[in-house]
Structure 1
Amino acid sequence: MKKHWRGCLFSIFSIILALSVTGCTPSATSSTTSATSSSSSSANNVHAVVQKSPHWSYEGDEGPEHWGELEKDFVACGNGQEQSPINIEHSHLEASHTQQPLQVHYSTTKVSILNNGHTVQVNAASPSNDIVVDGTKFTLKQFHFHHPSEHQIDGKNAEMELHFVHQSDTGSTAVLGVLIQSGKENKAFNRIWSKLPKDISQEAVLDEDVNLAALLPKDLHSVRYNGSLTTPPCTEHVNWTVLEQPIEMSADQIKQFAAIFPDNHRPVQQLGTRELKADK
């Protein structure tokens, strides 16, 4: 009888011990899944959510200097260590002997154009548009515009900046930045500019396809660094590629966008200990 009770007590103690160990050990699978899901959501939703009463803006109490205080999910905007945009100083550039040339595979595709309250966002219908950065393929999700530019070159902003937002199969984000300076009319943008939506939540679908490759400069030499999304939640671990050669738009084209968004840029952030790698 005593042996029987001893056996029962030992079994109960073993069960309690097992439950205690399980409850105090984090699930690696759950943690990994959550992190990937968060990264994926950030890339897909950057600028994508239409908000009639935005939780953030580019001025006042909800401006960039306050983003980190507005929502608990925005804390990286205030205390992140690898934030974007940055000032690209040529004196800080390091020539990379291992960096592979950027590969861009953009095609002609149908697009829809959305005013989401923060920018004009263009969504490509075809999933066949991608870039390859150092051997990793990133599929284009959308592209949008900032006025003036967010990145600076040697302390100076360009008139505008174009961001192509991509995502890899594993959920990593890569953004291709193209500076826009005032000059000749850029006919490659005429179809998009003819349908620029002026009102928030207004969306237009173009009847004719747009050649995305024609939106880029001929020279694809670039500067690369590790950064973040330039809008809340300012998610980090974003692979940034900024083309060295800008494209041109006419003063009228720039004015047309500025009439909708007079200022939708985030000021430059500290580079810190990050490296700026340039093509050789």
Structure 2
Amino acid sequence: MILPLLILSVKVVYGSDDYDYIQNGRDWPNIHEYCFGKQTQSPVNLDNNYTNTNEDDMYFFPKYKPTNVRITKNATSHRIIPANDSDNFGPLYTVNSWSESVAYGGKIIFFRSEAEHTVNGVQYNLEVQIQHTLLFATLTNRSTVSVFFIQDDTASRNPFLQSVIDNYDKQEFTLDLSQLVTSSFSIQPYYLYAGSFTYPDCTERNSWYIFERPFKAPNSQLQFFYNLYHNTDVFPHGNFRFIQDRKSSAKKVKVYYRKDPYQSQQNEE
């Protein structure tokens, strides 16, 4: 049974700002010790080497809502956060096959151009990362939902991206994450693995839920984010961290690939 929503106001720290993307994170170990030599660093390449379909399926149910937000900008990061610190983008419930449930609240949206995670070695044009905190505990663990975008000039403009683009320079505006991740969209296959923040201090307290299938968006939209994070002093080659090699600690890597629940029905038809 899913517990009713309880909003807790907890002041949290989301990392450090004394870094840049000149080397896409290769020099971060010189700044933050947790960005080097640990076992579960992110991002990773998601492929069959890390796939494990023998574990219990994990389902998650987003209940995102229109939220008044603001964009915080500094030299290293642009983040969309609720305008009211005690608010969130709406709850995200995760439920396993044993009916054990956990509730998170969306607190930060990051845009990565190009994508940080790769799928079978492919790096998509854009990754949208929605970082969550636990709603029913004071633990500092995070849960991040990621979706990819790939360029397709025949595609219609994505309404979520367009809302961000149209309001990017406003002090506050209303953003609806349900335009991006809907309940019907969340049934598609995704990867789940235990990892870290992809920015200093690279803390290893983050569970990643990454949808496999990318959205399509025209170049007119993707170019907006490309221009933000390329060809500048801080972002010469994008604002993504390079892929972390975790094969030497494969036993500690837990990446799950959830099969499409409708795939077996399609195969029978």
TM range (shorter): 0.7 to 0.9
In structure 2, the CA distance between the partners of 1:153 and 1:55, relative to structure 1 (3 Å rule), is same
CA distance in 2, matches of 1:244, 1:219: 11
Q: Which amino acid aligns with 1:86?
A: V
Partner-residue secondary structure (3-state), 2:171: strand
CA distance in 2, matches of 1:118, 1:99: 36
Note the C-alpha offset of 1:190.
1.6
Partner-residue secondary structure (3-state), 1:245: coil
Matches within 5 A, 1:2-21: none
CA distance in 2, matches of 1:128, 1:180: 21
Which residue matches 2:167? Answer: 195
**Alpha carbons 2:26, 2:242 under 8 Å: kept:** no
Which residue matches 2:149? Answer: 180
1:78 aligns to 2:36 (yes or no): yes
CA distance in 1, matches of 2:56, 2:36: 33
Matches within 5 A, 1:13-52: 41-42=12-13, 45-46=14-15
Note the C-alpha offset of 1:59.
0.8
Partner-residue secondary structure (3-state), 2:194: strand
Note the C-alpha offset of 1:106.
0.5
1:114 aligns to 2:114 (yes or no): no
Which residue matches 2:262? Answer: none
- Of 136, 143, 162, which residue of structure 1 is paired with 2:128? 162
**Alpha carbons 2:19, 2:76 under 8 Å: kept:** no
1:264 aligns to 2:264 (yes or no): no
Which structure 1 residue ranges, 5 or more long, are not aligned?
Answer: 1-39, 198-202
CA distance in 2, matches of 1:239, 1:176: 9
Matches within 5 A, 1:117-128: 117-125=75-83, 126-127=87-88
Which residue matches 2:103? Answer: 137
1:58 aligns to 2:21 (yes or no): yes
Which residue matches 1:235? Answer: 203
CA distance in 2, matches of 1:68, 1:188: 35
Which structure 2 residue ranges, 5 or more long, are not aligned?
Answer: 1-10, 96-100, 231-237, 260-269
Note the C-alpha offset of 1:175.
0.8
Which residue matches 2:255? Answer: 276
| Cα deviations by residue, 1:52-106 (Å, 9 ceiling, x for unpaired) | xx5211115xx51111112xxx211111110000000134311144233111110
TM-score between both structures, scaled by the size of structure 1: 0.73
Note the C-alpha offset of 1:219.
2.9
CA distance in 1, matches of 2:143, 2:40: 14
1:211 aligns to 2:180 (yes or no): no
**Alpha carbons 1:119, 1:261 under 8 Å: kept:** no
Partner-residue secondary structure (3-state), 2:185: coil
Which residue matches 2:265? Answer: none
**Alpha carbons 1:149, 1:160 under 8 Å: kept:** yes
CA distance in 1, matches of 2:49, 2:89: 37
CA distance in 1, matches of 2:196, 2:256: 16
CA distance in 2, matches of 1:214, 1:146: 19
Q: Which amino acid aligns with 1:57?
A: D
Which residue matches 1:37? Answer: none
**Alpha carbons 2:80, 2:108 under 8 Å: kept:** yes
Note the C-alpha offset of 1:128.
6.0
- Of 29, 51, 61, which residue of structure 2 is paired with 1:68? 29
In structure 2, the CA distance between the partners of 1:260 and 1:128, relative to structure 1 (3 Å rule), is closer
How large is the Cα RMSD of the aligned pairs? 2.2
Total equivalences in the alignment: 222
1:99 aligns to 2:49 (yes or no): no
